[in-house]
Chain A
Amino acid sequence: NAGVTQTPKFRILKIGQSMTLQCTQDMNHNYMYWYRQDPGMGLKLIYYSVGAGITDKGEVPNGYNVSRSTTEDFPLRLELAAPSQTSVYFCATRDRLTYEQYFGPGTRLTVT
């Protein structure tokens, strides 16, 4: 089992460009999450999903969009990249019964 995979690993964007961060899981978990990690700030929740077709905002959703058409995939979309979106992005799933989260390896994004 691959667990949670994220692509790309690294990306440099120019201000105003758009991109999609991909997240795929093979754990059959309904719950999926997107976090951003900034130095000294811990992880902040951007969006989460409790199942296919259902998404909800977290603490810092502005500038991002998500969709959840399948159980396996939970892409994060940046429409107009800004320097403030420079961060490391982590996708995670959550086990329905244990509430434990499983994290992907992260995507390091730089916006210049």
Chain B
Amino acid sequence: AQSVTQLGSHVSVSEGALVLLRCNYSSSVPPYLFWYVQYPNQGLQLLLKYTSAATLVKGINGFEAEFKKSETSFHLTKPSAHMSDAAEYFCAVSDPTGNQFYFGTGTSLTVIP
């Protein structure tokens, strides 16, 4: 089965600073990789996804992620953090069929004013 590792369960950045959230997947390349965001007491919303069309993927709210096969990584970045970015972020991968999905344990992002 696929597995996903998110390093750092809590990340704090200052408003305006770079956001970097880390995600590594298990060695076999999954067909699809995703980043989802969860605001308090809500369901998850899609930020962006990788589907092999391009290694640098742009998502909503200024977020982007780069797929690096050599590092088995799909890290999420945003050049300048905003207060509204404070939330929990989940990396997810699909199984080879695309039917099942495996989520990381999440990273809670705090933005300091």
Give me the interface of A with B, judged by CB distance under 8 Å: 4, 31, 33, 35, 40-45, 48, 50, 56, 58-59, 90, 92, 98-106
Contact = CB atoms under 8 A, between A and B. Distances in A.
Given A90-B44, A99-B49, A103-B43, A41 B100 contact: no
Chain B interface residue bracket vs A: 20 to 34
Given A92-B44, A100-B34, 20 more contacts: A4-B43, A35-B103, A40-B9, A41-B105, A42-B103, A42-B104, A43-B90, A44-B103, A48-B99, A59-B102, A90-B43, A99-B49, A99-B94, A99-B98, A101-B44, A102-B46, A103-B45, A105-B41, A105-B43, A106-B42
Interface of B: 1, 4, 6, 9, 31-32, 34, 36, 41-46, 49, 51, 90, 92, 94, 98-106
18 contacts: A31-B99, A33-B101, A42-B4, A42-B103, A43-B44, A44-B103, A45-B102, A48-B99, A92-B44, A99-B31, A99-B32, A99-B98, A100-B34, A101-B46, A103-B43, A103-B45, A105-B41, A106-B43
Nearest to A35: B103
Contact of B51 (A41, A44, A92, A99): A99
A105 B92 CA distance: 19
Contact of B101 (A4, A98, A101, A105): A101
Query: DSSP majority for the A interface?
Result: strand
Contacts of B49: 98-100
A45 B44 contact: no
Contacts of B9: 40
A4 B9 CA distance: 28
Contacts of A44: 103
Nearest to B51: A99
A42 B49 CA distance: 18
Contacts of A105: 41-43
A106 B42 CA distance: 7
B98 A58 contact: no
Given A42-B105, A42-B106, A50 B99 contact: yes
